[in-house]
Structure 1
Amino acid sequence: MSSATVLAKAEELQNIARSISEGQKERADQERVLRRIDEVRTALQGAKVQQQTAILLANRTGVTLDTSGFDAARSKLESKSRGGLPSDRAFLDAKRALEAFTNELSTSIKQSWKEWASARIQEVAPAQFVALGPDERLEATQLYESMKANASRPKVDSASIVTFCSSRDALLKILESAPDDAPEDLLELIHRLEAGGVTLRELSDADIALLRKYDQDIWFTVTRKAD
């Protein structure tokens, strides 16, 4: 084999080696980009969830929170993508910005929700439940407990906000028929009657008049005791 042929063969092998090396580098770059895209996509999804929760919170409660950090983080990545694929630094900066936004907004949502929900619970007077009919009283109690449970969840999400507000609306509707000024004597009397064993002789005219005044006499029946 002539020296020229050997040189040509060597150059050919060198080109093949360079092509393989470049191909491996391209694959490595592709894998890097795909990995970074997945990381940013995950961070973006988490940020979107918190943004949507904040919007729902504002719609249901009137409490507004700053969500501008979401658009700022997304715009930053988009601006660095105009010349081609973003660098590793651009991906990491966007991921950190989105995660920081998510954490800050999550904390704000939790604090604002706890304050608002606690105030709404304080507006409800469970003593009014006693003046309701048995079925309504049970429903009112369940709705009230639902409100307390959703107000104290460690993680605030759309479901807890919607459930709390729906329970509150239903409870307020029920309480429209309950007297606002139910006296303590009425509450004690209802507790006595529901405990059972109270005879007609043990009820005074004032007790019966009190039940009738607040339309509670329809919930109790008089039966003859067996000998």
Structure 2
Amino acid sequence: MRFSANLGFLWPETPLPDAIRAAKNAGFDAVEMHWPYDVPAGEVKAALEETGLPCLGLNTRRGETRGLSAIPGQGVAAREAVDEAVAYARAIGAGAVHVMAGIAEGPQAETAYRETLHYACDAAPDLTILIEPLNRYDAPGYFLTTTGQAAVLIDAMGRANLKLMFDCYHVQVMEGDLTRRFGDIREIVGHVQFAGVPDRGRPDRGEIAYDRLLPALDWDAPFGAEYRPEGATEASLDWLRDWR
């Protein structure tokens, strides 16, 4: 198995270029980011080239509403957020952009979301555009909450580069039955993330046996470690050494 370090949660106290170097030293095969926009893209690209780690992806800005894409009346700002994320991703060589939906509901929200996603797919045919269901406990009111809802949306839109971010943590909290759930929608999955349940802590603790689950999934790319370590990140990495 190969693993990607999500630098939104891992080494959070470390400047992003140094966090990339720390991930390399720890034995990760790739990195991914949340919102790297305060760091010049050139510095991030230099650290990626130095370490040889690929960057799998990054998010559109979160803001106060967990994104803008599904919020009616925010189309211009949502497209600007997409443009920013796509430009940054291209500058550092990242492969995907997660377009965050935002806190919204109803038919108008779905229309707004689809319009933004079509825009993103058109603007970045060279990138994977990801959507991610978030559980209703960590993200109350978020527009996208289940893999079923995401699958219907992806099917209806018919865009080749629009894929699902399968976050095992969120899916377990909302739906469970991870192995079967993943198998049913494997063809639309664009990235896989994981964290301990129920506290989003280190993945070798909690209710999911990832050491058995992850090898059982039909997935050849790196799995994204998106968990919150207690204390120093290095002290939480026993699982990485054991599972490799």
Q: TM class, shorter-chain normalised?
A: under 0.3
Q: Select the structure that is richer in helix.
A: 1
Q: Select the structure that is richer in strand.
A: 2
Which structure has the greater CA radius of gyration? 1
- TM (normalized to structure 1)? 0.22
- TM (normalized to structure 2)? 0.20
